[in-house]
Structure 1
Amino acid sequence: MLLSRDNLPETIADVAALDDLLCRPSQALIDDLAGVDGDIMVLGVAGKMGPTLAGLAKAAAPGRRIIGVARFSDASVEDWLERRGIETIHCDLLDEAAVGALPKVRNIVFMAGRKFGAEDDLSLTWAMNAHVPAIVAQAFHTSRIVAFSTGCVYPFVPVDGKGANEATAPDPPGEYAQSCVGRERMFEYFSRKFSTPGRLVRLNYAIDMRYGVLHDIATKVLQGKPIDVSLGHLNFIWQGDAAAQALRCLARCDTPTSPINVSGHEILAVPDLATTFGKLLGREPIFVGKEAPTAWLTNTSQAVTLFGLPVVDTTRLITWTADWVARAMPSFGKPTKYEVRDGRY
């Protein structure tokens, strides 16, 4: 079954149903990948979003070779991928020789990076977020490279505006976000040097029922925990839509590489979201802090022009999340830390 607004479920029964939904392609994705030659390799496939993207690519292009590369410290991720017909390769992306030995496929999706615990070892954060991209950009300079970045590369912008667009100069707080600017600069430098086509996907925030800003807010409402509204506005997107837009960027690469914001087109207030969850969950939200006039927000006009609106809308995401949390369904236990303003993760 293809993904469309007309056939979305009212609720998501369990993890298996969630995985199937996340990996359900739209006709637009199938059509775009049909126009892109070559196989697809996903570097850093074992993160929260990597399996979705690889599974979606395989479902949209079943005759294509899809390869997932990671260290695979969790063997269950490798098993999950292989059951879906995705080849797996073990590789430490910090090992330049190992990266150089990977298959030279036509299309690279780069998803490796370090965020959670970034402050615990800043040298490793910079190595993963800036040095590894330099290694990859040189090893695959004859490929197309769609590289995941983050909306956190932008400065805070007024909450009553439209969000930062791709012309907004990066100027983020904290070394994590600064290292993400380093990631982009490495891909940009080598794209210019070798004329490598690519895109830099500035994503915030992806929503999966097991994690994400909606999961964080709903869980706090249900548990009666205070919700900090100091970073009181945000935008977000269904993880399946985000993965699909990243894959569709393979058909829209620029030389040199260029950024594109990927998120929901709406700027939403945290208190409003918490209040909605309170009604759905039968709880009164508790708020702390004072809303600031600025936040990390992105303007997704370019993505909407290229891809249309996300298939899964905000109302659906909220109702799915409330139902999932109310039933105490599985969680990754990894808060997004969306409320952090100093860049220290």
Structure 2
Amino acid sequence: MPSVPPPSTVRPGLPCPPAEIDDFLSQPTPRVLEVVARTRGPFLVLGAGGKIGLHLSAMLRLALDALGRKDRVIAISRFSTLRDRAAFEQRGVETLACDLSVEAEVNALPDAPTVFFLAGVKFGTSTAPGLLHAINVEIPHRVAAKYARSRIVAYSSGCVYPFVTPASGGAREDTPPAPVGEYAASCVAREQAFTGVAAARGTPVALIRLNYSIEFRYGLLVDIAQKVLAGQPVDVTTGYVNVIWQTDAVAHSIQALEVAGAPAVPINVTGADTLSVRDVAHRFASVLGRTVQITGTEAETAWLNNAAHSHRLFGPPLTTVDQMVRWISEWLRDGGETWGKPTGFERRDGRF
């Protein structure tokens, strides 16, 4: 029986040893270093315990270290979902446990000139409208009021836009929001909490309309690859998508600090290409040595974002779709863990 390679070994097809993927995903780009060099600390990352918070916090810490700065990076969360506090602290990021739904706990948080807001809920909310309102509407208002004197980068979603045709090139930042479903409506309400404080208090705000972030363990490319690997059909009814590698999404979010303004500034963060789900499934099938099964027929429209504006500001994403396909294929083929949280990108009713 062949021996299993140690975790520190780089496997062919992967860009780093499996045990080091979180550090790989957190590497600051040269442009991130430039922005952080011009930004005052300390840096707060609220809602840090989810899928993006560790990489955002660690990228800030690595950038500050590279610049020889000792500014604090503080990750704030209940730390009850994907990440525990140790994952942050071993990377030099301070942690504070806080339930953002409790006003007294939010008011007790430290002040800081630079704030990232990542808190939100999506899955399971179709049957829990109270939870959706509490997390996606009430918490943002509470945080916006607390940090009205800070510079804020707040995560939103491309789901605030209407469905558009692939030929349109995707919704732009000046496309009026037209949310489909209660989740998307709550994302608009979350944005309104921060647009309101920007208008009333002059708080510089950037709203990150992200669509969709990808890494080894999560994202719609992982969803498609898992189906191909398991011989399950891939539904192409939602036939077209945008993706961006998590490192690039985080880097662009940090760079958005310098375009934050009052009124609040929406920024689309995604890749340059409109991808065919059918084509992506066949690409995974080719790399994985599988036969792909396709079900459904492509609808005329999809949730698509045009990120040309952010690419002009921040530079294009550095990771290609071909790299993502190869890395995810190798990760899954070797039994790499996933978060076990399908994105539900196929849904067109806005219910998650």
| TM range, smaller chain | over 0.9
Aligned match of 1:210: 217
What is the CA distance between 1:15 and its match in structure 2?
A: 3.8
Deviates more, 1:141-150 or 1:35-44: 35-44
What is the CA distance between 1:14 and its match in structure 2?
A: 4.5
Deviates more, 1:246-255 or 1:141-150: 246-255
Report the 3-state secondary structure (helix = DSSP H, G, I; strand = E; otherwise coil) of the residue aligned with 1:147: strand
TM alignment of 1:202-241, pairs within 5 A: 202-241=209-248
What is the CA distance between 1:311 and its match in structure 2?
A: 1.1
Cα deviations by residue, 1:71-123 (Å, 9 ceiling, x for unpaired) = 11259521010011111111111111111110000111000000011112111
TM alignment of 1:112-151, pairs within 5 A: 112-151=119-158
Match of 1:60 among 60, 63, 67: 63
Aligned match of 1:6: none
Quote the Cα distance in structure 1 between the aligned partners of 2:345 and 2:253.
22
- Unaligned segments of structure 1, at least 5 residues: 1-8
- Unaligned segments of structure 2, at least 5 residues: 1-11
Cα deviations by residue, 1:268-303 (Å, 9 ceiling, x for unpaired) = 000000001111111111111110010000000111
Query: Are residues 1:276 and 2:295 paired?
Result: no
Query: Are residues 1:46 and 2:49 paired?
Result: yes
Query: Are residues 1:303 and 2:306 paired?
Result: no
Aligned match of 1:95: 102
Report the 3-state secondary structure (helix = DSSP H, G, I; strand = E; otherwise coil) of the residue aligned with 2:156: strand
> Is 1:144–1:196's contact at 8 Å kept on the other side of the alignment?
yes
CA RMSD for the aligned pairs? 1.3
TM alignment of 1:189-208, pairs within 5 A: 189-208=196-215
Quote the Cα distance in structure 2 between the aligned partners of 1:78 and 1:54.
12
Cα deviations by residue, 1:308-333 (Å, 9 ceiling, x for unpaired) = 11111111111111111111111100
What is the CA distance between 1:264 and its match in structure 2?
A: 0.4
> Is 1:267–1:297's contact at 8 Å kept on the other side of the alignment?
yes
> Is 1:22–1:239's contact at 8 Å kept on the other side of the alignment?
yes
Scaled by the length of structure 1, the TM-score of the pair is 0.95
Identity of aligned residues (%): 43
> Is 1:202–1:262's contact at 8 Å kept on the other side of the alignment?
yes
> Is 1:44–1:111's contact at 8 Å kept on the other side of the alignment?
yes
Aligned match of 2:260: 253
Cα deviations by residue, 1:113-164 (Å, 9 ceiling, x for unpaired) = 0001111211111111111110000000000010000000000001222100
> Is 2:117–2:155's contact at 8 Å kept on the other side of the alignment?
yes
Report the 3-state secondary structure (helix = DSSP H, G, I; strand = E; otherwise coil) of the residue aligned with 2:222: helix
